[in-house]
Homo-oligomer: A and B are copies of this chain.
Amino acid sequence: MLELCLLGTGGMMPLPKRWLTSLMLRCNGSSLLIDCGEGTQIAMREKGWSPYSIDTICFTHYHADHISGLPGMLLSMGNAERTKPVTMIGPKGLARVVNGLRSIAPELPFAIEYIEIQEEEQRFSCESFQVEAFKVQHSIPCFGYKITIPRSGKFSVERAREAGIPVSCWNRLQHGEAVEHEGSLFTPDMVMGEARRGISVVYCTDTRPIPRIAEKAKDVDLFICEGMYGEEDKLSNAKKHKHMTMEEAAILGREARPREMWLTHYSPSEVYPEQYKDKFSHIFPVKFARDAWSKDISFEEEE
């Protein structure tokens, strides 16, 4: 099962009662954080989740509202006595930016591994999470993320018996290993069905709407997308600063048809984002997320 919490929904600056946009995901004891603005560690504490298990931190880009909370978060992870290394993933410049911020957090009890994204689309394996970074269109290099929990195919007892594979080999085959037994080689494809639908979430902020986003968010379980402005006259503003209006986000939703879609990264001027609900629901039934909205997503049940 994947547990996730949208720790905040604010863009630009943290406000009383609105933390900056950040997403935390947990699966099999490992946590993954996307973006870490000022206050993210407090939002995480309000949710009741620990910084200890954050194995991976992904950054969309290095504007302050997406990374300014990092030094405090790292220190809190250290205070929680974490010693296991942490992997950070982000656009080029990651090590330089983080090292700058670490002028106030120079000593940590864990190592940091920096992975700077080299391609327009790139995949990484991070504990239980499959991470795909994909380039979007902002005023500086910026990436969206698709996080997937893959699910292997179904084990076929029938095919295993037909192939004469001893029961003692089944477990390893189910876990994707090839097994040699008394001179015979058994491989997972002999007994496993096609990979089944896993769990997938797309997180995308600080960008103009581009086709790649809808492509990545196609049929995902949850699509979390920037909806910076609701007012019509803000479109030129959105274009100028390379952001997205709620309407543009809804149109992406209509193309991608995710199972659920949340808006986030509201401009500080948007005090009641929900007021636009009726305005955009005919395009796609977007939900206007609020701080700490959470969701547990399980593999779908089968007949």
Q: Which positions in A face B, CB cutoff 8 Å?
A: 12-16, 37-39, 41-42, 45-46, 62-65, 67-69, 71-72, 75-76, 79, 96-97, 99-105
Contact = CB atoms under 8 A, between A and B. Distances in A.
Contacts of A67: 104
Contact of A103 (B14, B38, B96): B96
Nearest to A76: B13
A37 B42 CA distance: 13
A64 B68 contact: no
A207 B237 CA distance: 48
Contacts of A16: 42, 45-46
B68 A72 contact: yes
Contact of A13 (B41, B65, B99): B41
Contacts of A72: 13-14, 37-38, 64-65, 68
Given A38-B41, A69-B38, A79 B14 contact: no
Task: State the copy count for this chain.
Answer: 2
A75 B42 contact: no
A105 to B, nearest CB: 5
Contacts of A46: 16
B79 A75 contact: no
Given A38-B69, A68-B71, A69-B38, A104 B63 contact: yes
A12 B79 contact: yes
Contacts of A39: 14, 38-39, 42
Contact of A62 (B37, B75, B96, B104): B104
Which of A62, A69, A96 gathers the greatest number of chain B CB atoms within 10 Å? A69
Given A38-B68, A68-B68, 8 more contacts: A13-B76, A14-B72, A16-B42, A16-B45, A37-B72, A38-B39, A64-B75, A100-B100
